[in-house]
Chains A and B, each alone.
Chain A
């Protein structure tokens, strides 16, 4: 039983970061109606920016994280305005292909800049462990979870309470009506994409000290974001938060009890099962979906 709780705790810690990545993707999908294939690449850049700013340049870790968040926010906004905005009148397939192109560019640019070898990022705090019962907690993982939680709450408040958040929700519900009442749709799209990308980057810089980082790490993150978003319902923010935790726990238990080699396959299993049996997501009671805060 102790082992079970240990897996559960580990799963929830990792799951928190999956929630972040998933929220980013679900926001982009919910509002812009496109699947962002470059999502994992923003996650990868989050990890590498932290590595560069903190581990190499020696900046304060908290400042490094803030910088990274803002940099990726602007990268996302820039990409949206330059490459997605001209495709607004095309089918969504064109936009999705565009994000695929960006995926390849970012991944290979990272490969050229930082090299293909894996890197390690030092832990954010002095590594100490303590235990409650027989379940072991380590300070770095708890910190990761706390920061994830903070960002999740911050995002919910942003969507729920601010004017921009309100415009985002309005756009989600009915783009044309929102435009009629004076919401600047183009601005909402840009901010949504940038913010979604920055959330993925947050997942990246939080997980970086726990795992090794490499330029190809994004593909796996994208697949996890897909799983989270599918499980939570495309466009459903609260669903993405729970979906992330669910995926973290399922992976952790699956790797522990079934086979660790298939750890990364559980996400796809979730996708396939959910699409087959509950295509509107696990959270939905009725068919209608909405961005909830």
Chain B
């Protein structure tokens, strides 16, 4: 069965329409809250996917940029009364700059050095936010961050939902564009054969730094959203388990695909809600899922499914 382009395009808009209609149908705040959290995790997983999936560098400090974004936005709000509309760009810019610095400094050595530095960043940030009482209120956390407000209207769950949906769609679009642009092809070329990529004038270090900047910027924005949504942040944001959760989402969902991290983020936001009864086993189960999906489903859920579908009918490669 072959579909023409317009039908394919129309089919692609269906999920978006469904997502837009959700708050109309669902009025339960608990469900909306879970969906909003899934949106935040989607931003994080999608942005980490740029590193793991597109350029093939494992960043173990993604929660650090998320936390830094949250703290910048939160502190601006609590200390200076600055709303999210300025706080979010500030958080994004700051994490972009930090990504630039770290990328510039560590990509000279690459690989494990990058893993170590990014990992260290998270721990250092956790220690700093824990100990710098006068600024961050230490382990007690930062309270009273202003909720989002636009034209004098306080955001309800519904508005937060549309806000995060907008961000998710935007980020997914950006990543899709990157994948299909010169950058994306350069990333893939580098990932597959770096010396050859260098030989055809792809300046790999510059591309790596750029990829890292985009990735950290999105994480910072996600942090800013979280701070203003939950209105309370603490040094726990920097915990390694957060980074691990994001990594699990990317790997299990399918690294290198646009849809993979989204699917991963949704699964691993919903799963803990269902596993609440056996909450003690949750992380254990995560660990096992991670280990066995690396062993038996190396490419992740989305590419595996895409393959099956592709075999059945020709198209749909846009998804994978």
User: A residues touching B (Cβ–Cβ < 8 Å)?
Assistant: 29, 35, 83, 86-87, 90-94, 96-98, 100-105, 107-109, 111-112, 219, 223, 226, 230, 234, 259, 261-262, 264-265, 268-269, 271-272, 275-276, 279
A108 touches B116 (CB 8 A): no
Of B8-16, B19-27, B289-297, which stretch is located at the interface? B289-297
Q: With A219-B240, A272-B117 given, is the CB distance from A105 to B288 under 8 Å?
A: yes
Partner of B244 from the list A91, A93, A100, A264 (CB cut-off 8 Å) is: A100
Cα–Cα, bound, A234→B291 (Å): 25
Q: Is B193 an interface residue (CB 8 A)?
A: no
> Which residues of B are found within 8 Å of A272, using beta-carbon distances?
117, 120
The A-contacting residues of B in range 115-129, CB under 8 angstroms, are 115-117, 119-121, 123-124, 127-128
Taking A103-B287, A111-B280, A275-B116 as given, write out 13 further A-B residue pairs in contact, using a Cβ cutoff of 8 Å, ordered by the A residue number: A83-B291, A87-B295, A90-B298, A92-B111, A97-B58, A101-B290, A102-B287, A219-B240, A223-B123, A264-B123, A268-B121, A279-B109, A279-B113
Cα–Cα, bound, A262→B284 (Å): 30
Question: Nearest residue in B to A280 (C-beta to C-beta)?
Answer: B109
A interface footprint on B56-74 (CB within 8 Å = 1, 0 otherwise)? 1010000000000000000
B123 touches A83 (CB 8 A): no
Question: Nearest residue in A to B106 (C-beta to C-beta)?
Answer: A275
Chain A's interface: helix, strand, loop or mixed, by majority? Answer: helix
A107 touches B283 (CB 8 A): yes
Q: Is B112 an interface residue (CB 8 A)?
A: yes
A101 touches B291 (CB 8 A): yes
A104 touches B295 (CB 8 A): no
A275 touches B58 (CB 8 A): no
Cα–Cα, bound, A269→B113 (Å): 14
Question: Nearest residue in A to B250 (C-beta to C-beta)?
Answer: A97
B131 touches A112 (CB 8 A): no
> Which residues of A are found within 8 Å of B280, using beta-carbon distances?
111-112
Q: Is B86 an interface residue (CB 8 A)?
A: no
A112 touches B290 (CB 8 A): no
Cα–Cα, bound, A48→B274 (Å): 32
User: B residues touching A (Cβ–Cβ < 8 Å)?
Assistant: 52, 56, 58, 105-106, 108-109, 111-113, 115-117, 119-121, 123-124, 127-128, 130-131, 240-241, 244, 247, 251, 280-281, 283-284, 286-288, 290-291, 294-295, 298
Partner of A94 from the list B113, B128, B294 (CB cut-off 8 Å) is: B294
> Which residues of A are found within 8 Å of B281, using beta-carbon distances?
108, 112
B58 touches A93 (CB 8 A): yes
Cα–Cα, bound, A49→B47 (Å): 40
Partner of B284 from the list A100, A104, A223, A269 (CB cut-off 8 Å) is: A104
Cα–Cα, bound, A271→B130 (Å): 21
Question: Nearest residue in A to B284 (C-beta to C-beta)?
Answer: A108
Question: Nearest residue in A to B131 (C-beta to C-beta)?
Answer: A261
The minimal Cβ–Cβ distance linking B189 to chain A, given in whole angstroms, is: 16
Cα–Cα, bound, A265→B244 (Å): 20
> Which residues of A are found within 8 Å of B121, using beta-carbon distances?
268
Cα–Cα, bound, A109→B287 (Å): 10
The minimal Cβ–Cβ distance linking A57 to chain B, given in whole angstroms, is: 25
Question: Nearest residue in A to B132 (C-beta to C-beta)?
Answer: A261
A100 touches B123 (CB 8 A): no
Cα–Cα, bound, A264→B131 (Å): 12
A86 touches B295 (CB 8 A): yes
Cα–Cα, bound, A197→B79 (Å): 47
Q: With A97-B251, A104-B244, A230-B116 given, is the CB distance from A265 to B105 under 8 Å?
A: no
B291 touches A102 (CB 8 A): yes
